[in-house]
Structure 1
Amino acid sequence: METIIPLIVQAISGAVGGGVVGNLVKQISMNMLPKLLSGAIGGVAGGTALAGMMGGGDATAGLDIGSLIAQIGGGAVGGGALTGIVGMVMKNMNKG
């Protein structure tokens, strides 16, 4: 159970980050579901990477405030980044 909570935090913050980026960048003409899914996937990747760098070792090992902030921040940034990439790829695919 201790390993699933950080992943849920990362996925939720990634979905939020993906939704925000998708709404801010008007060139990303995606429906809400792809924004949230790409955000959640990017959030887990980004949150795990940042928490691992900041906390050292296993990113899912602890629930202290430092690792929680790293998971939320990394999740939001990772989710936003992946949503932006997916949006741009989808835009370019629709052009051609």
Structure 2
Amino acid sequence: MQFLPLIIQLVSGAAGGNLTGKLAKKLDLGVLGNSIAGILGGGLGGQLLGMLGIEAGPAGSLDIASILGSVASGGVGGGVVMAVVGVIKSVLAKGK
């Protein structure tokens, strides 16, 4: 297992989580919350797509296609998990 694609997914997940937080103000968890949810989503999203066999390049390669695939899967995964956590937080806050 190579760690560079995972690191790329985690960093782009944090960026995706923060971007989603800025675009959807009602779901914003703050910079730290967006980053943590994004990192989790980036790692999970990238690994899930890898397990499903949906990768941009050959496994373990570091060409431009695999790097862009890691960035895309990490960013999207981070944004999705951050949005889900934001929705859960807002629903729980309304119940109080």
TM range (shorter): 0.7 to 0.9
Residues 37-52 of structure 1 mapped to structure 2, 5 A cutoff: 37-51=36-50, 52=53
Q: % of aligned pairs identical?
A: 37
Residue 26 of structure 1: how far off its partner (Å): 1.1
- Residue 82 (structure 1) aligns with: 81
Q: Tell me the C-alpha RMSD between the 2 structures.
A: 1.9
Q: Show the counterpart of 1:19.
A: 18
State the TM-score, normalizing by the size of structure 1: 0.85
CA distance in 2, matches of 1:35, 1:56: 29
Contact 2:22 2:28 in 1 (8 A): no
**Contiguous gaps of at least 5 residues in structure 1:** none
Q: Structure 2 unaligned runs (5+)?
A: none
Change (3 A) 1:66 1:87: same
Give the SS at the match of 2:44: helix
- Structure 1 residue ranges, 4+ long, deviating more than 6 angstroms after superposition: none
1:53 lines up with 2:62 in the alignment? no
1:65, CA displacement in angstroms? 1.4
TM-score normalised by L of structure 2:
0.85
> What one-letter code is carried by the residue in structure 2 that aligns with 1:47?
G
SS in structure 1 at match of 2:54:
helix
